[in-house]
Amino acid sequence: MVDSRTVGFIDVGTNSIHVLVTQFFTDSVGTPIFDDKESVRLGQNLFAEGYIDQDTIERTKLVIGRFVKIAKDMGAEEIFAFATCAAREAYNRNELLEAASESGIDLRIISGIEEARLVGLGVFGPYGPPDRCVDIDLGGGSTEINLSKGSEMLFLDSLMAGSVRFSYGLGIDQSGVVSKADYGRILSAVDKVAINTANRLREIGFDRAVGSSGTMINLAEMCAARRDGDCSYMTRKELSELMRDLCAMDEVHRRNVPRMNPGRSDIIIGGGAIAEELMYLFEVDKIFISERGLREGMQFDYLLGKGRKEFNLRRSSVMTLARRCGFNEKHALQVNTLTMQLFDSMKDLGLHSMDGEVRELLGYAAILHDIGEFISYNKHNSHSYTIISNSNMPGFSSTELEEMALMAKFHHKRFPGAGHKLLKGLPKQQVKNIRYCALMLRMADVLDRHRSSPVDSMRVLAVGDSVLIDLKSKEDLSMEVWKLEELSEPFMDVFGRELRICASGWGDVKI
């Protein structure tokens, strides 16, 4: 078990060097406290000339040294550094290892299969995906493939296809307009290295695909900029149209394409061709995008090596965020308990039919509802919304983060109608669920408004066309009752029932 420890993870890739400094709270899967990268292009001269040039080795040495110092300054007790494709292939890789050793770390060169395993661990987490899911990690020198279901990795492979390799190693000048014939040559190069993998994936079968790495993220961002801005996915049709347009531009003009990362403008043709052709070969029409990868896999692997066997990734993510924001744990857990009681009781009465997945999100929203106080109590519900929706908490989809954020936002101030601007465009059932949950969370928060946990027990009863909430306490609950009664109008709007409140002992309710 890891207890309150800070660890650094360095990924020396073919295009960039990344560092992740993670703080492990008790029973957490860790939270990033520093994350940075620097493009050194280890593979540029390697794939053009066959070796890593001395200037690049010196830049690598400088960047690794700086990242090691930062990690140590932030309290890292251990630092792990892995090198991937460029280091695997360079005949002068020992020079790279010696340069890293001068910074006091042991740089480990990992195989392509090990890289695929670690990337999959980072993208899917230690329990893996619930369905058969393939991850395509498009790196600078190689592309790693991981097909998993649950904790079982069904297929791993490493393809000799990368954005830097196919931009500088094919003898095709991609600084200007790229002809249809030259682009076709890049696609053919992808076919040669990927056809066997494609056949194997089709043989095993999978339900969905995920793309990871900076190139995949940037391609999705550019696709999203051409429609609705949602960069959590891209379609093969969108990518094909994007690549057609990028090929018609020179590198200077590519930099002006909306959401184009200028640092990738010289390798985006090679990288985009790989992504497009792999989606074609793997028969993927839509690919979802993950911002997680090798470094996060190193993080999980570290925990596994320290004996962690049980991972509740979602709860760990929630509690870690809450603690970083300095939440009032006693209040948050009390509100969570009361919210869950309201959810279960109202479901038993037939007031809603929401499932366990919604219940889980509501419970997490209850824990996080006040974290906006970290910024300011004034409008803290709006601050909570901003923090949760932008938290990128491991284990949650962007849709789930948005739902929890909305539940937290609406626990305070004016309760929203179904036409609220933040609810527009959402499916009707999703809007209904969010309003159900937000109202229950608001009621639970009212019952602990003074942070003293005054409610000893509670029961929810159907009395004719009314819903009666009977509270038991050794304290005077008059103020809590008043505030709950103020919610009678939204309660009628949401649940279609009159709300009645009674603060008494169990035997004193007049029904």
- The predicted model gives 243-255 an average pLDDT of 96
What pLDDT does residue 398 have? 85
Cβ atoms within 10 Å of 422's Cβ, excluding its own: 16
What pLDDT does residue 435 have? 96
94 vs 90: CA distance, rounded Å: 9
Burial, 51: exposed, middle or buried (Cβ in 10 Å; 0-12, 13-18, 19+)? middle
What pLDDT does residue 245 have? 97
Instruction: Note whether residue 258 is domain-resident.
Output: yes
90 vs 142: CA distance, rounded Å: 13
Say whether both 139 and 83 belong to one domain.
no
Q: Which residues pair with 286 in a beta bridge?
A: 235
Task: Show the beta-strand stretches assigned E in 72-115.
Answer: 78-83, 107-109
Domain boundary among 241, 263, 293: 293
Cβ atoms within 10 Å of 201's Cβ, excluding its own: 24
Q: How confident is the model at residue 3 (pLDDT cuts 50, 70, 90)?
A: low
Say whether both 289 and 328 belong to one domain.
no
Percent of the chain with pLDDT over 70: 97
Rg (CA), the chain: 27
Q: Which residues pair with 156 in a beta bridge?
A: 146
Instruction: Note whether residue 467 is domain-resident.
Output: no
Instruction: Note whether residue 501 is domain-resident.
Output: no
Domain boundary among 55, 79, 110: 110
pLDDT by residue (tens digit) across 62-84?
Answer: 999 999 999 999 999 999 999 99
Number of structural domains the chain divides into: 3
Q: Which residues pair with 17 in a beta bridge?
A: 12, 38
Q: Is the pLDDT of residue 94 over 80?
A: yes
Q: What are phi and psi of 189, to 5 degrees?
A: -65, -35
Say whether both 104 and 220 belong to one domain.
no
Name the residue with higher pLDDT: 474 or 402: 402
Structure tokens at 384: 């909570």
pLDDT by residue (tens digit) across 198-216?
Answer: 999 999 999 999 999 999 9
**Whole-number mean pLDDT of the chain?**
91
Q: How confident is the model at residue 274 (pLDDT cuts 50, 70, 90)?
A: very high
Instruction: Note whether residue 242 is domain-resident.
Output: yes
- The predicted model gives 40-50 an average pLDDT of 86
Name the residue with higher pLDDT: 127 or 197: 197
CATH number for the domain that contains residue 75: 3.30.420.40
pLDDT by residue (tens digit) across 49-60?
Answer: 888 999 999 999
Q: Directed axis angle between helix 356-368 and helix 428-446, to 10°?
A: 50
Say whether both 232 and 133 belong to one domain.
yes
Q: Is the pLDDT of residue 188 over 60?
A: yes
Residue keyed to tokens 């997490």: 364
pLDDT by residue (tens digit) across 363-391?
Answer: 999 999 999 999 998 899 999 999 999 98
pLDDT by residue (tens digit) across 122-175?
Answer: 999 888 899 999 999 999 999 999 999 998 999 999 999 999 999 999 999 999
Say whether both 196 and 262 belong to one domain.
yes
Q: Is the pLDDT of residue 99 over 90?
A: no
**Total-model pTM:** 0.73
What pLDDT does residue 27 have? 67
Instruction: Note whether residue 488 is domain-resident.
Output: no
Say whether both 142 and 275 belong to one domain.
yes
382 vs 372: CA distance, rounded Å: 7
- The predicted model gives 445-464 an average pLDDT of 90
Say whether both 237 and 272 belong to one domain.
yes
Provide the domain limits for residue 98.
Answer: 5-110
Say whether both 258 and 319 belong to one domain.
no
Percent of the chain with pLDDT over 90: 71
CATH number for the domain that contains residue 153: 3.30.420.150
- The predicted model gives 267-295 an average pLDDT of 95
Say whether both 17 and 122 belong to one domain.
no
- Which residues 6+ apart lie within 8 Å of 59 measured at CB? 40
Cβ atoms within 10 Å of 479's Cβ, excluding its own: 12
Domain boundary among 44, 77, 110: 110
What pLDDT does residue 478 have? 86
pLDDT by residue (tens digit) across 397-428?
Answer: 889 999 999 999 999 988 999 999 999 989 99
CATH number for the domain that contains residue 396: 1.10.3210.10
Instruction: Note whether residue 509 is domain-resident.
Output: no
Q: Is the pLDDT of residue 438 over 70?
A: yes
Say whether both 129 and 100 belong to one domain.
no
Say whether both 358 and 439 belong to one domain.
yes
- The predicted model gives 23-41 an average pLDDT of 83
Instruction: Note whether residue 58 is domain-resident.
Output: yes
Instruction: Note whether residue 510 is domain-resident.
Output: no
Say whether both 256 and 123 belong to one domain.
yes
